[in-house]
Amino acid sequence: MVREIVTYPAEVLTKPTEKVDCVDREIERLVKDMFETMYHAEGVGLAANQIGVPLSVMVIDTSPKEDAPDLKLVLINPEIVSSEGRIKYKEGCLSFPGLSVEVERARKVRVKALNEHGEPVELELEDFPAIVFQHELDHLQGITFIDRLKGWRRRMALEKYRKLQREAQKV
């Protein structure tokens, strides 16, 4: 089922999510809905709190991006084990329709999580998949991409977003 995507400044986007104790049928259904919602919105990553569910679950599918690997992931209770390098990328976010901002993140991350079957997995992501992962991990921790900006860059991004929202309301 395609769910409604929560947009900033909804409170659920600014609070850390809870860890999943048990990967059960309910989580299975949540993951299915998250993929459907993400594909419907033409996104490449989605965090559970973006559909209003405050649990540590993310889905990623980077295959629509031409120069990225065909990678489809479900990560539950994800954590970064180690990271290296830096990379800047102009990111978008389904919770900030129309806004894109350049964010600097680690270029390579080693990640620990549970998969959709509740099994522990460890994997290494680099470049675009690493960027998407870190963006979604931030969501799960109650951090949005504008929180990665400082000073006037952050103020300008917020101002631009408010303007986009006002324009969207007029239509």
Q: How far is the CB of 131 from Ni ion (least distance, A)?
A: 11
Catalytic annotation on 136? yes
Q: How far is the CB of 50 from Ni ion (least distance, A)?
A: 7
> What residues line the site for Ni ion (CB under 5 A)?
93
CB nearer Ni ion, residue 23 or residue 149: 149
Least Å from the CB of residue 135 to Ni ion:
5
Cβ nearer to Ni ion, comparing 27 with 145: 145
Of 36, 124, 126, 136, which residue is the catalytic one? 136
Enumerate residues 6+ apart whose C-beta is below 8 A from 45.
Answer: 38, 58, 59, 60, 61, 62, 132, 133, 135, 136
The least distance separating Ni ion from the CB of residue 91, rounded to whole angstroms, comes to 8
Nearer to Ni ion, 59 or 93 (CB): 93
- As annotated, the active-site residues are 136
